[in-house]
């Protein structure tokens, strides 16, 4: 029996707190999608387009939009069932993004050994 941890961090660094612990794939991917939506909104807000025709170029608009659309594609992989399918088959879900400024980011939902009930991260959540 295993359960799932969801979180985000910069690759190479240990995640700091804020790990979501759940025993259902639905919950895990819901949490992951929520975090990704936040990230996409953030990147699109930083868009450097100076006029609408540039913005309409989509991922070619600017570097921020490029990352924003990558995040949107990741969200789409959750919406279309791709991510759930790989988790059901024992795979982890991991998305990496490279914004034009600042460190790379990764967002993940990983299978973790042990029962959800016995997990130290689950304790004190409620």
For residue 67, the minimal CB distance to Zn ion (Å) is: 10
Cα 89–93–94 angle (5° rounding)? 150
CB of 92 to Zn ion, least distance (A): 14
Nearest CB to Zn ion, comparing residues 21 and 39:
21
What span, in angstroms and rounded, lies between the C-alpha atoms of 27 and 23?
8
Pattern 23-62, binding to Zn ion, x per CB under 5 A?
------------------------x-x-----------xx
Using rule CB under 5 A, residue 71 touches Zn ion: no
DSSP string, 65-89: HHHHHHHHHHHHHHHTSHHHHHHHT
Report how far apart, in Å, the C-alpha atoms of 4 and of each of 28, 60, 68 are.
7, 35, 26
* 55 vs 106 by CB, closer to Zn ion: 55
Site residues for Zn ion per CB under 5 A: 21, 47, 49, 61-62, 65, 119, 121
């Amino acid at each position: 029996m295993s359960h799932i941890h969801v979180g985000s961090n910069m690759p190479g660094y240990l995640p700091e707190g804020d790990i979501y612990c759940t025993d259902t794939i639905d919950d895990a991917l819901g949490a992951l999608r929520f975090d990704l939506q936040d990230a996409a909104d953030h990147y699109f807000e930083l868009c450097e387009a100076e006029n609408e025709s540039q913005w309409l170029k989509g991922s070619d608009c600017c570097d921020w939009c490029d990352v924003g659309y990558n995040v949107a594609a990741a969200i789409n992989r959750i919406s279309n069932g791709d991510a759930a399918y790989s988790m059901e088959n024992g795979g982890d879900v991991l998305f990496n993004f490279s914004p034009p400024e600042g460190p790379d980011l990764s967002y993940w939902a990983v299978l973790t050994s042990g029962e959800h009930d016995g997990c130290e991260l689950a304790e004190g959540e409620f």
